[in-house]
A and B are shown apart, each in its own frame.
Chain A
Amino acid sequence: DVKVTQSSRYLVKRTGEKVFLECVQDMDHENMFWYRQDPGLGLRLIYFSYDVKMKEKGDIPEGYSVSREKKERFSLILESASTNQTSMYLCASSLTASGTVRFGPGTRLTVL
């Protein structure tokens, strides 16, 4: 079964820590996305990538960076975690811009 996997389902970090969220897809998809989901705010796009080493800012990139060194892997980095980054983080991928999108199960990050 093809899938998008995320490195952790739950993560607890302290303010100021550097946090890495890893996402891997096994579908040879070109496009990969990182979203965060908060109650009342829905899913908001942080960054996306349409090719290896390519990245584009989404709606809320501040406080985040990303890395895509290999096609199958897209990492979200919180350089210095803050409490307002406590959220559910969802990774997704798609083959084309108009193709279907597959989501990972999500990582619930708590920053203390």
Chain B
Amino acid sequence: DAKTTQPNSMESNEEEPVHLPCNHSTISGTDYIHWYRQLPSQGPEYVIHGLTSNVNNRMASLAIAEDRKSSTLILHRATLRDAAVYYCILMYNAGNMLTFGGGTRLMVKP
């Protein structure tokens, strides 16, 4: 199974951009890169996903390396409500498995 590697924790100041990295060196050609986040006492929520091209939505941007072995989730202006654990996940196109790694705990300072 393709796995992901993320830093355990990161800190950011409020209103500043945040770049959350993820390494997935064993990714296969049909794996989608998904990002979810989990706020305290809640289930994970979808943030963004992509296959090869960079993606933008109202929550964040996803930058995918050309060789797809790494990606970066970008929060353009961190708020206190963005403090959460962020999971980078590979979703297998041919199957239904969705396996989570340890995630990155993002702390946002006012």
Q: A-side interface residues toward B, CB under 8 Å?
A: 4, 31, 33, 35, 42-45, 48, 50, 56, 58-59, 90, 92, 94, 97-98, 100-106
Contact = CB atoms under 8 A, between A and B. Distances in A.
* Interface residue SS majority, chain B: loop
B101 A97 contact: no
Interface string B14-37: 000000000000000000101010
A48 B97 contact: yes
Interface of B: 32, 34, 36, 42-46, 49, 87, 91-103
B93 A42 contact: no
Contacts of A4: 43
Contact of A92 (B42, B98, B101): B98
Contacts of A106: 42-43
Nearest to B48: A100
Given A100-B49, A101-B36, A43 B44 contact: yes
Nearest to A56: B96
A44 B87 CA distance: 13
Contacts of A56: 96
B91 to A, nearest CB: 6
A31 B43 CA distance: 17
Contact of B103 (A42, A94, A100, A103): A42
Contact of A97 (B36, B92, B102): B92
9 contacts: A58-B97, A59-B99, A92-B98, A97-B96, A101-B44, A101-B91, A101-B98, A105-B43, A106-B42
Nearest to B100: A43
B44 A103 contact: yes
Contact of A98 (B43, B93, B100): B93
A100 B34 contact: yes
B100 A42 contact: yes
A55 to B, nearest CB: 11
